[in-house]
Amino acid sequence: MTRQDPAPDETGFDVAIDALEQQLSLLWRRARANSHRVARQVHPDMEPAAYGLLMLLQREDSMRLTELAASIGVGKPSVSRQVALLEQLGLVQKETDPLDARAQAITLTEAGREKLHSAQTARKAAFHDRLGDWSVDDLTSLAQLLDRLNESYAHEQPAAHEQPAAHEQPAAHEQP
């Protein structure tokens, strides 16, 4: 049976989901390869996952580790490792949180801001090259649909291996 000839019990929705899965899989593979290139533009030793953390810090200016983890939907231990690497690379710094002296706020360093900006400029140029013949309406529609897809994942809990251990959970009275 070919893909054009769905099984009798497959609905149009199932066929559309299959097509979506194939296209997203291809997009994710290409995006991963691109993320490696962009991360290396920021710093040769930076992991691709850290690029998103830098962008989040750029947008929010300063965040606690728990806020970073919650914002990207992964466990605190994973984010902590990424932040430690970014700190070693001189791209972020930890400072005492002005709202709570017991906590630390993570911010971009000046070098982190400059390197991130340079990588973003290159990435934007690459998007212009690839999507220059798309209409503004098509680009806007794609962005809106991707936003809708991302929103459907926004409240998903991290996988069990990403969950913080019980001793790492904040006390009920602590603010994240």
| Domains of the chain as residue ranges with CATH | 29-154 (1.10.10.10)
- Rounded to whole angstroms, the Cα distance separating 112 from 27 reads 28
pTM beyond 0.75, yes or no: no
Res 156 pLDDT > 90? no
Q: Could you give the 3-state DSSP secondary structure of residue 26?
A: helix
Res 1 pLDDT > 50? no
pLDDT at position 8 is: 56
Res 20 pLDDT > 80? yes
Res 55 pLDDT > 90? yes
pLDDT at position 29 is: 93
pLDDT at position 63 is: 94
Mean pLDDT throughout 10-38?
Answer: 91
At 63-112, the pLDDT tens digits run: 999 999 998 888 899 999 999 999 999 999 999 877 788 889 999 999 99
pLDDT at position 131 is: 96
Looking at the DSSP bridge assignments, the partners of residue 108 are: 92
Looking at the DSSP bridge assignments, the partners of residue 63 are: 106
H helix intervals, the chain: 12-42, 49-60, 65-72, 76-88, 110-131, 136-153
At 115-152, the pLDDT tens digits run: 999 999 998 999 999 999 999 999 999 999 999 998 99
Region for residue 90 given its phi and psi (left: phi exceeds 0; alpha: psi -120 to 50; beta: otherwise): left
- Rounded to whole angstroms, the Cα distance separating 128 from 134 reads 9
Phi–psi pair at 132, nearest 5 degrees? -60, -25
- Rounded to whole angstroms, the Cα distance separating 91 from 43 reads 9
- Rounded to whole angstroms, the Cα distance separating 8 from 1 reads 11
Average pLDDT, the chain: 84
